[in-house]
Amino acid sequence: MPTRSDTPGPPPGGPQRLHPFSWLFVLLQQLRAFAIPLVVLLVTGRGQSSEWLGLIGVAGLTALSVAQYFTYRYEPTAEGIVIRHGILQRTRRDIPYERIHTVNLHQTVLHRLFGVAEVRLESAGSREPEAVMRVLAMTEARGLEELVRLYGGARRPPIDGIADRAAAEEPAPLLTLGPGELFRLGLISNRGMAVVAAIVGLASQVLMESQDAARDSVAAPLRAFYELIHGFVAARFDDTAALAAGTLFVVGAALALVRLLSVVLAFVQYHGFVLREHERQLRVQRGLLTRVRHQLPRRRIQAWRIDETLLHRWLGRQTLRVDSAAGADDERGIRELAPVAPPATVTELLARLLPDARWPRTDWRPVHPRAWRRLLVRPFAMLLLLASAVAWFEGLRGLVVFVAVPLLVLRARRQGAFAGYAIDDRVVAVRSGWLTRRWGVVPIAKLQSIRVTQSPFDRRHCMATLWLDTAGAPAADGVLRIRFLPVDEARQLYARLVDHMTASSPLATAPPVPAE
């Protein structure tokens, strides 16, 4: 392997500019923040002189975008990437290759028409990108991606020809999603609800700011639709049946619409999904209108998660997710290695990417036998409050709510029976849930800290909770924690993990076990 003394100098040409149409994409990004005010202005301000204010603002943003293009420079060197930008105040940033976690490429339809991509340099442990280059030509973006991959891995190849090498090296995919899988993903997910919520929020914002005529123009079609459905049902049933049938129809139509939107969004977001591995780097490419390309070094993965809802099981599918050291969300990094896949495919991916997991495991250990009682406390308390509220208005008829108690007991018992953990010298695995099941797998070498906690209810039942924290997968979300352990077993497990953490990483820390 070449050493740092073999490092070549900077590539020919020195500092480089962004793509000549970069100013257009910067302008569109800035205008996005003013989308709602512009819509309100168009609806409420027609014929008024205030429209000129919007035009003046757009002209100012355009001038600012063009100036940014002429003042932004980036320079790949043998040690890192140097970025210079600024108009009145010049700023220089030196980003070492070792600091760059991943290079993400982002493409909308407009990007593809111009043959460009937005490049985001992500670093581990940072919520914001180290740098955003808006935009580069695709050949330059791919070359920069390959340059960071090679230099970040402590390899020092010649910089010339990296773009050609990136195009030539395209490993076979580990997973692809066809139309059938995308349809299943849409049925399983609930992304359509986010679209409905966004539409309702935008409509309410516009209606609050609009005049009476504009408000009536939006409300009139909704009122006509309601009267049409009500009249159709009322003509065939009595009033009570009409109310019940109309309610069921509206609820069913809403659920069907949400699922339809979810299917559409699944095709838009995950069309052409491909997962690849190249030299211990995971690459994901997906998107119909907006094409994104993410990469993630395997060494950055902190925890692995498997989700399985009731719809997953009915369709024979699971979802495989990862948490990385950067803690990036779905828009900025890789979270889903397999958005939807058969359990056998998930097992194959884990066997290839995390062989220490030995998945599926058969050595699950149960939690405390009385764990179901603890799981029953919160839902029973909520049911009691609900029954009290109903009884306040309806009298003894409010006690009908307690017919749900057997269902709550069944749910608690099933959750307590399924909950468990598995541990060996390499990994810790946790499982929880019942109708919605979750598994979490954490390599012990990735643990940053662990702790044992006891609530008053835990002390009453001689139980404890063991929390597992990693750099990018905090235990606060509930997946990476082992609840309702017998207190002695929790302390023994804590001591065992501390020994493994100390042996694998002397920097790992753990607070002392709470005293008896």
pLDDT for res 471 = 76
Same domain, 158 and 204: no
The pLDDT > 90 percentage for the chain reads 31
Structure tokens at 191: 């992304």
Indicate if the pLDDT at residue 7 is higher than 70. Answer: no
Same domain, 207 and 77: no
The pLDDT > 70 percentage for the chain reads 73
pLDDT for res 8 = 42
Instruction: Answer yes or no: is 113 within a domain.
Output: no
Q: Which range is least confidently modeled, 107-121, 193-207, 350-364?
A: 193-207
Same domain, 9 and 70: yes
Mean pLDDT of 419-432: 93
pLDDT for res 308 = 95
Mean pLDDT of 117-137: 83
Q: Is 138:150 a contact under the CB 8 Å cutoff?
A: no
Tell me the C-alpha distance between 483 and 255, whole Å.
Answer: 35
Tell me the C-alpha distance between 421 and 427, whole Å.
Answer: 11
Q: What are the pLDDT digits (tens) for 50-91?
A: 556 667 777 777 888 888 888 899 988 888 889 988 877 888
Q: Is 238:247 a contact under the CB 8 Å cutoff?
A: no
Mean pLDDT of 423-442: 93
The tally of domains found in the chain comes to 2
Same domain, 162 and 203: no
Q: What are the DSSP E strand ranges found in 363-501?
A: 365-366, 420-423, 427-433, 437-443, 447-453, 463-470, 481-486
Same domain, 145 and 264: no
Tell me the C-alpha distance between 403 and 343, whole Å.
Answer: 36
Mean pLDDT of 415-439: 93
Give 143 or 46, the one with higher predicted confidence: 143
Give 218 or 155, the one with higher predicted confidence: 218
Please give the model's pTM, rounded to 2 decimal places. 0.78
Q: How confident is the model at residue 144 (pLDDT cuts 50, 70, 90)?
A: confident
Q: What are the DSSP E strand ranges found in 246-314?
A: 274-278, 281-286, 291-297, 301-308
Mean pLDDT of 359-366: 92
Instruction: Answer yes or no: is 19 within a domain.
Output: yes
- List phi, psi (to 5°) of 180: -65, -45
Domain with 199 in it: 191-270
* Strand arrangement, sheet containing 274-278: 131-137, 116-123, 100-107, 291-297, 281-286, 274-278, 173-176
pLDDT for res 225 = 65
pLDDT for res 5 = 40
Instruction: Answer yes or no: is 217 within a domain.
Output: yes
Mean pLDDT of 13-33: 84
Q: What are the pLDDT digits (tens) for 393-424?
A: 777 777 777 888 899 999 999 999 999 999 99
Q: How far is CA 385 from CA 168, 215, 374, 388, 411, in A?
A: 64, 39, 18, 5, 19
What is the number of other CB atoms lying within 10 angstroms of the CB of residue 426?
A: 15
Indicate if the pLDDT at residue 267 is higher than 80. Answer: yes
Same domain, 164 and 195: no
Q: How far is CA 423 from CA 365, 433, 440, in A?
A: 9, 19, 12
Instruction: Answer yes or no: is 230 within a domain.
Output: yes
Same domain, 72 and 202: no
Instruction: Answer yes or no: is 205 within a domain.
Output: yes
Amino acid at 423: I
Instruction: Answer yes or no: is 158 within a domain.
Output: yes
Indicate if the pLDDT at residue 237 is higher than 70. Answer: no
Angle at 97 between CA 91 and CA 102, to 5 degrees: 100
